Amino acid sequence: MTGRGRARSRSRGRTRTYEVQPTEAPGVAPLAPGAAAAVPPAETEQLGRGRQKRSTGAAVPEGEIITISAGFQQMTIGERGGRRRDFHDVGVNTRQAIEHVQESKMGVSGAPIELRANYFRILSRPQWVLYQYHVDYNPPMESRRLRSALLLKNEDLLGTTRTFDGSILFLPHRLPNTVTEFVSETRDGQTVKITLTLTNELPPTSPVCLQFYNIIFRRVLRILNMQQIGRHYYDPNDPKNIPQHRLMVWPGFSTSILRYEVSILLSLDVSHKVLRSETVLNLMYQLRQQCGEAKFEDVCTKELVGLIVLTRYNNKTYRIDGIAWDQTPNNTFSKNDTSISFKNYYKTQYNLDITDNNQVLLISRVKKSGPGGRPLGPALLIPEFCYLTGLTDKMRSDFTIMKDLSAHTRLTPEQREQRLLGFISNMHKDSAAKAEMANWGLQFDNKLLSLKGRVLPPEKISQGGKIYEYSPWVADWTKEMRGVQLMSTQPLEDWMILFIRRNSDCAYSLVQFLGKVCSPMGIRIQKPIMIEVEDRHDSLMRALQQNVTSSTQMVVCILPNNRKDKYDAVKKFLCVDRPTPSQCVVARTLSKPQAMMTVATKIALQMNCKMGGELWSVEIPLKQLMIVGIDCYHDTTAGRRSIAGLVASLNQGMTRWFSKCTIQRPGQEIIDGLKYSLQVALKAWFRHNNCLPSRIIVYRDGVGDGQLQSVVSYEVPQFLECIKALGEDYNPKLSVVVVKKRIGARFFAKIDGKLSNPPPGTVVDNEVTRPEWYDFYVISQAVRIGSVSPTHYNVVYDTSGLKPDYMQRLTHKLCHMYYNWSGIIAVPAPCQYAHKLAFLIGQSIHREPNPNMDELLYYL
């Protein structure tokens, strides 16, 4: 158990963790002292659009995404104007190209189940057409505020119900003429001719109208005094305090109104925002006190870069990209051709006094471009005015903090329903909110959406000639597999254990227990070479260099603590320099005698997998099928390199895997690495099966919100091309499935009169799916606390002709095949393997591992 604990906590912070490379403090180098481009961020009327996370997935430069979706880009409107990215991937129509799901994409097998989902029906919505006008100014006006003011002087003509973003005007009624001209006057007497041209009449179902409903809904949230932080809204009046860690949690909601399978629905999910009541400056003081002057710059950079901050003077969020060690509030910047110090600027603009004039400033690269499309320079922020949001890596790995937090953030299905219904009823009670919605004719249902799902039957697990079933609600077969021989094992003959003197008891006890647990599993085990090393900086590494040979089957290191640098060094040496499967164990895990049986069992299983053994399998009916799992790890610091892990099956039973990891070079697309990996994986398959697979199913994880289009139009063609390259007449069936775990959908089942989590194996493929996609949800895993999070599968390309039912069942089967967990996991095993692989490379190794390891699950 404990072995898993470490491995898990290490990989918990996926995509949010950043690399430890202090030498490459980003953003500092290009900033010359007193850089003119650096300006403090201005107060704007726009709501904070700071993105919470660096989006995951294919690292296609933003500009290219824009060109793909240029047609659609035109139609995207923000609440107060301004273009924004479409996080819901609306307008990516993939189903139309998949012939066999034109009529239905629903499966059939399994027992029907009544479900509730966190969606609300729209009872009434505007029936009128929305009129879109293009607004032109002559002479051209640059300031959006001015454009807006000039237009609104003609209220008598336009009416009070309207939306204007600076160039496009939406009206619920039609103006008498297609082209309307009038003259307005600026404050300083300049006359401006304004021309309104009708460009579009939008029916209530058009995507622009949907965006419109979202805008109205956001207005309602604001009326209810919810605060927008990042993309979601939070209630500041009911904070949950966790004083011992100086944290507070704001409860809130993520909302969106979208067109789903049969109707337009409001999706509403509970969200929590962790905030800290101390400023970045305070944190800097603390860090400096803890680590001392010498290491301060490194530690501070590591701790702060990547965090999102709020400022005291506007409602924007900024991501800290670096620290300007040479800048203080006394430095000046130029504004309107005059130079002003930061200190004076904040005093005159916001009456804010800077108390520490020697604090260094924070750098945030602002993505939005300034007036006239000129890119803005990096913003410099004053730590004293910045408040931290979210958790740092250090906090995330702190067990007590996470435990205290989860008391507030983990909600049972019933608590969740209560929150959602409470919000809807508040909204219905508030008169101003009601009025806003009534103006536009919007009305929402007050109960959760009901829908039907199916529960797939539990799988039979076969292991070492025996077949057993697991309890469907627990979805775990740790008990069942006890005492049963493994499917195939690798003997432990030439292996070693390294430890320091203090931990020699642990080491000998581990050997003793491994001896006990291995034989029932069918693992032949010999005495290891016991190597005692000194507790000095480099003695462990030297011992490895001296003792590990090419015939060594396994290296076990007992680490005195969970310091990352030591772990990284061991892994790097044994993955790159001298490729050997290795197992690191923190001594503390071995300190409890009563837990030793469990720990030793776990370690034995893990070592067996790492050396190429197989544990169990489920029945996979399809022949000549290669399953591919892909996930990415994004380095948030140091040049933001991405690491793509690809794992592909090598046999019929999906028990042996080929793993390849590529590190994205600067300026290179992630797909280039994936293409190469897929090619070598196919060659490996050929070696093992003497033929190429006739079907390939790719499970692509790590695609961020709004990046679906790039997967469809870049990655899929590249996969096809890569397959083509293996031979003109080689023409396998290909399916590409985008896997998403972080989604807003939640499903509940009424069980014994109580709202509960649906059982493992629940499939949802109607109502809350999207009509333009071939998509479905599966809840494969079981959770003990809180609400289970379903996984969304979107089949974006499919020439397999496989019935949706088969696709769903195959997907669920694959969730049984992750050897580091004797139970069902939330995603198909190859995705989780790919994640583990990319995480290990991204966090610890930073180099491509030795190809000798490719056919082993060495990264478990």
Partner 1 sequence: MERIKFSPPLYKQRYYFVIDLIMKSQPKKVVDLGCADCSLLRKMKFQQCVEELVGIDINQQVIRENMYLLSPLPCDYLNPRIRPLVIKLYQGSLIEKDPCVKNFDMASCIEVIEHLELSMLEAFSNVVFGYMTPHTIVISTPNADFNQLLLGLTGFRDRDHKFEWTKTEFQNWALDICVRYEYSVTFAGVGSGPAGTEDVGFCTQIAIFTRMPARNDRWPNSNADCDDIHSYKLLHEVKYPSYCDKNIFENALINEMTYWTEKIKKHFLNSTEQGDTKNNVQHDQESNEDVSWCSRSMEKHCVNWSVCKSADGYLEVQKHGDTIHIPLDQLFTILEVKKICSSVVRLKEALLEIEQFEIAGDNLVVCICDNEK
Whether 792 is a known active-site residue: answer no
Question: Is residue 466 involved in binding partner 1 (CB under 8 A)?
Answer: no
Question: Is residue 156 involved in binding partner 1 (CB under 8 A)?
Answer: no
Which class for 251: exposed (0-12), middle (13-18), buried (19 or more C-beta within 10 A)? buried
Residue list 778-797, contact with partner 1 (CB under 8 A): none
| Residue with Cβ nearer partner 1 (314 or 800) | 314
Question: Is residue 139 involved in binding partner 1 (CB under 8 A)?
Answer: no
DSSP 3-state of 339: strand
Q: What is the DSSP letter of 43?
A: P
Question: Is residue 241 involved in binding partner 1 (CB under 8 A)?
Answer: yes
Whether 835 is a known active-site residue: answer yes
Question: Is residue 594 involved in binding partner 1 (CB under 8 A)?
Answer: no
- In the set 669, 705, 765, 805, the catalytic residue is 669
Piece in contact with partner 1 (CB under 8 A), picked from 22-30, 103-111, 236-244, 668-676: 236-244
Piece in contact with partner 1 (CB under 8 A), picked from 126-134, 272-280, 680-688, 743-751: 272-280
Question: Is residue 680 involved in binding partner 1 (CB under 8 A)?
Answer: no
**Interface pick for partner 1 out of 277, 446, 519, 526 (rule CB under 8 A):** 277
- In the complex, the smallest distance separating the C-beta of residue 674 from partner 1, rounded to whole angstroms, is 40
| Residue with Cβ nearer partner 1 (340 or 720) | 340
Question: Is residue 313 involved in binding partner 1 (CB under 8 A)?
Answer: yes
**Interface pick for partner 1 out of 310, 543, 596, 856 (rule CB under 8 A):** 310
- In the complex, the smallest distance separating the C-beta of residue 591 from partner 1, rounded to whole angstroms, is 16
| Residue with Cβ nearer partner 1 (241 or 471) | 241
Size of the site for partner 1 (CB under 8 A): 54
Whether 701 is a known active-site residue: answer yes
Helix ranges (H only) for 305-376 are 342-350
Question: Is residue 138 involved in binding partner 1 (CB under 8 A)?
Answer: no
- In the complex, the smallest distance separating the C-beta of residue 770 from partner 1, rounded to whole angstroms, is 32
What is the distance between the alpha carbons of residues 126 and 259, in angstroms, rounded to a whole number?
Answer: 15
Question: Is residue 155 involved in binding partner 1 (CB under 8 A)?
Answer: yes
What is the distance between the alpha carbons of residues 209 and 202, in angstroms, rounded to a whole number?
Answer: 7
Q: What is the DSSP letter of 804?
A: H
| Residue with Cβ nearer partner 1 (127 or 336) | 336
Question: Is residue 82 involved in binding partner 1 (CB under 8 A)?
Answer: no
| Residue with Cβ nearer partner 1 (142 or 188) | 188
Question: Is residue 741 involved in binding partner 1 (CB under 8 A)?
Answer: no
- In the complex, the smallest distance separating the C-beta of residue 634 from partner 1, rounded to whole angstroms, is 26
Piece in contact with partner 1 (CB under 8 A), picked from 4-12, 225-233, 542-550, 642-650: 225-233
Helix ranges (H only) for 489-563 are 504-521, 539-547
Which class for 17: exposed (0-12), middle (13-18), buried (19 or more C-beta within 10 A)? buried
Question: Is residue 182 involved in binding partner 1 (CB under 8 A)?
Answer: no
165: Cα within 13 Å, side-chain hemisphere: 18
Question: Is residue 225 involved in binding partner 1 (CB under 8 A)?
Answer: yes
Residue list 561-590, contact with partner 1 (CB under 8 A): none
Residue list 314-333, contact with partner 1 (CB under 8 A): 314-315, 328
Give yes or no for a cis peptide into 472 (omega within 30° of 0). no
**Residue whose tokens read 């979210």:** 390
Q: What is the DSSP letter of 766?
A: S
Cβ 300 vs Cβ 287: under 8 Å: yes
Cβ 85 vs Cβ 423: under 8 Å: no
Question: Which residues 6+ apart lie within 8 Å of 382 measured at CB?
Answer: 40, 329, 342, 346, 354, 359, 361, 362
> x/- string (CB under 8 A) for partner 1, residues 359-398?
xx--------------------------x-----------
What is the distance between the alpha carbons of residues 333 and 321, in angstroms, rounded to a whole number?
Answer: 19
CA separation (Å) from 584 to 212, 656, 700? 54, 23, 29
What is the distance between the alpha carbons of residues 483 and 464, in angstroms, rounded to a whole number?
Answer: 11
**Interface pick for partner 1 out of 72, 285, 468, 821 (rule CB under 8 A):** 285
User: Is the backbone of residue 7 left (phi > 0), alpha (psi -120 to 50) or beta?
Assistant: alpha
464: Cα within 13 Å, side-chain hemisphere: 15
> x/- string (CB under 8 A) for partner 1, residues 97-136?
----------------------------------------
Cβ 115 vs Cβ 148: under 8 Å: no
Question: Is residue 236 involved in binding partner 1 (CB under 8 A)?
Answer: yes
- In the complex, the smallest distance separating the C-beta of residue 325 from partner 1, rounded to whole angstroms, is 9
| Residue with Cβ nearer partner 1 (183 or 530) | 183
Question: Is residue 431 involved in binding partner 1 (CB under 8 A)?
Answer: no
- In the complex, the smallest distance separating the C-beta of residue 245 from partner 1, rounded to whole angstroms, is 8
- In the complex, the smallest distance separating the C-beta of residue 73 from partner 1, rounded to whole angstroms, is 27
Sheet architecture: strand order including 625-634 = 657-663, 642-649, 625-634, 695-700, 733-740, 791-798, 774-779, 762-764, 449-455, 111-117, 747-751, 754-756
Question: Is residue 352 involved in binding partner 1 (CB under 8 A)?
Answer: yes
- In the set 701, 715, 798, 854, the catalytic residue is 701
- In the complex, the smallest distance separating the C-beta of residue 43 from partner 1, rounded to whole angstroms, is 8
- In the set 459, 631, 775, 805, the catalytic residue is 631
Q: What phi, psi does 131 have (nearest 5°)?
A: -100, 125
Residues 732-766, buried b or exposed e (16+ Cβ, 10 A)?
bbbbbbbbbeeebbbbbbeeeeebbbbbbbbbbbe
Cβ 586 vs Cβ 463: under 8 Å: no
**Residue whose tokens read 């809904």:** 217
| Residue with Cβ nearer partner 1 (236 or 786) | 236
- In the complex, the smallest distance separating the C-beta of residue 349 from partner 1, rounded to whole angstroms, is 8
| Residue with Cβ nearer partner 1 (205 or 241) | 241
H or E element in which residue 215 lies: helix 207-223
Q: Furthest-apart CA pair in the chain: how many Å?
A: 94
- In the set 88, 232, 835, 846, the catalytic residue is 835
- Which amino acid makes up residue 223? I
Long-range contacts of 174-177 (CB under 8 A, 24+ apart): 174/131, 174/198, 174/201, 175/131, 175/133
Question: Is residue 193 involved in binding partner 1 (CB under 8 A)?
Answer: no
**Interface pick for partner 1 out of 338, 546, 551, 690 (rule CB under 8 A):** 338
**Interface pick for partner 1 out of 63, 71, 189, 483 (rule CB under 8 A):** 189
Piece in contact with partner 1 (CB under 8 A), picked from 95-103, 280-288, 587-595, 671-679: 280-288
**DSSP secondary structure letters along 522-543:** T--B-PPEEEEE-SSTTHHHHH
**Interface pick for partner 1 out of 37, 223, 291, 726 (rule CB under 8 A):** 223
Whether 232 is a known active-site residue: answer no
Sheet architecture: strand order including 191-202 = 163-164, 168-171, 130-138, 191-202, 179-185
Candidates 653, 617, 601, 604; CA nearest to 479 is 601
Piece in contact with partner 1 (CB under 8 A), picked from 88-96, 124-132, 270-278, 648-656: 270-278
DSSP 3-state of 28: coil
Candidates 3, 154, 167, 144; CA nearest to 75 is 167
Question: Is residue 185 involved in binding partner 1 (CB under 8 A)?
Answer: yes
* Catalytically annotated residues: 631, 669, 701, 835
Residues of the shown chain interacting with partner 1 in the complex, contacts defined by CB under 8 A: 43, 45, 149, 152, 155, 160, 185, 187-189, 222-223, 225, 227, 229, 234, 236, 239, 241, 243-244, 246, 248, 275-277, 281-282, 284-285, 288-289, 292-293, 310-315, 328, 336-338, 348, 350-352, 355-356, 358-360, 387
